[in-house]
Every structure is written in structure tokens, then in C-alpha cells.
Amino acid sequence: MREIIFDTETTGLDSREDRIIEIGGVELVNRFPSGRFIHFYIHPGDRQIHPEAQAVHGISIADLQGKPRFAEIAEEFLAFTDGAKLIAHNAGFDMGFVNQELARLGMDPIAPDRVIDTLAIARRKHPMGPNSLDALCRRYGVDNSRRTKHGALLDSELLAEVYIELVGGKQAALGLEIVEAVVETTTEVDVTIVLSQRPKPLAPRLRDTERAAHARMIESLGDAAIWKRVLAQPAETLPAE
């Protein structure tokens, strides 16, 4: 099972007008990092970066000089993600931008059934929140000390660790390994067990005062009491201890 954890950084919040300026993704195979990743800085053409957006990700137009346009990296991105589930935090935002970029190129959008939103998963699992990526890193002990600014590849790497915790992937994988493990042995061993008598019998567990209290309790019962019928039986018919 292939899954691509990905993230985008953009010039602003409106996918109809704003553009992707960074995209990164890491591959999971059976919920384990494969070591494969994809990462691009992308020039937004004539679209300027909103100051509020730049304050979040720290990417300026000057940083993007000489970088490819989305049209130049689209095929590589689609090839890397082909056949895999796409996983993002607040996926509707990222997929809105990706599909808008594809639409500008006359390409088909990525189908919604290929997309998993970790924010939705986190809100179901932790309804009291908070469920930002930073909050989830703290909750699951994922080290995000390098995250002073948003960055698509770094955020993808952090989200991959969070996602595995969210869906219990480590435990599931461990269980799979245990189920598939087969141990064979061809050695036969004859074992003889010998029961020996105690050199000294154990002391009685009941004290005389307890036995007397029990006898008085039985005397207080009616003639139909089970205890009286049991005690009336010969000792050889009583069950062995």
C-alpha cells in the first residue's frame, strides 16, 4: 500500500487566484517511510505573494527566481503520486490548489476518493482538540523543533510521523509481523514430571474459631439447608478436595 503525505505553500488563500509556490511529499509503503520523496519550489508567474502568507512560510519572490513553473513539474508530481492515496492536513485546502493548477493545464483533477484528510481524522479522534500539526506533534511526541516556519517538505515529514500515530500504523505493522512469523522445530523431547510429597504438610487455612463460627451458622439454618444435607452424607461420597 502506497501513500503520499504531502503539503503545499502558496501565494495566498484563494485557490482560484493564488498559486502554489512549494510542494513536497514523502512516500509511505505499508505505513513505513520508504525514503522516497518529492520537493519543488515553483515560480508563481505574475502572481505576487501576500505579506500574510510570506510571514507564515518565509518564501519571497526573490527566493523563487529561476524556479520552474507548475507546468514544468506537473508530470513528475503526477508520476510520483500515481496509484497512491494522497494525505494532507486540511486536505481540502491543498487539493483545491493542486486541482486548480491541473485545471489551468487542461489536466484531469485528482479524484476525492484518493484523498485522506488527517485534520478530519484528528478531529474525530481528539474532538476537544487542538488539532493543528504543531499540537499533534506535541500530543504524539514528534520532534518539531526545526519548524520555525511552514515548509512543504518538512511539514510532510512531520505529518507522516503524526499520521502513523493517528491510524495506529506502528501497532498494526507489529501485529502483522507477529502473525506472519512461523517457527518450526524438528526436535522431540520426552519430559517426565514427578510429583513429590511435601516434607511437611501446609498448616490448616481455617482457625478453630472460624470452624466454630461456621458450625453455629449451619445450626441456625433450616432443615432444608444444603449444608445440612451435605454434612449428612457419608464421608466417602463427598467430593475429593
Q: Which residues belong to the active site?
A: 150
Nearest of 183, 180, 160 to residue 170 by alpha carbon: 160
In sequence order, what E strands does the chain have? Answer: 2-10, 20-29, 32-41, 85-88, 115-117
According to DSSP, the residues that pair with 116 across neighbouring strands are 87
Question: What single-letter amino acid sits at 156?
Answer: S
CA angle, residues 14, 18, 21, in degrees to nearest 5 = 125
φ/ψ of 115, rounded to 5, equals -110, 135
Residue 101 CA neighbour count, 13 Å, CB half: 27
With cell 449451619, the residue in question is 218
- The answer to whether the CB of 24 falls within 8 A of the CB of 37 is yes
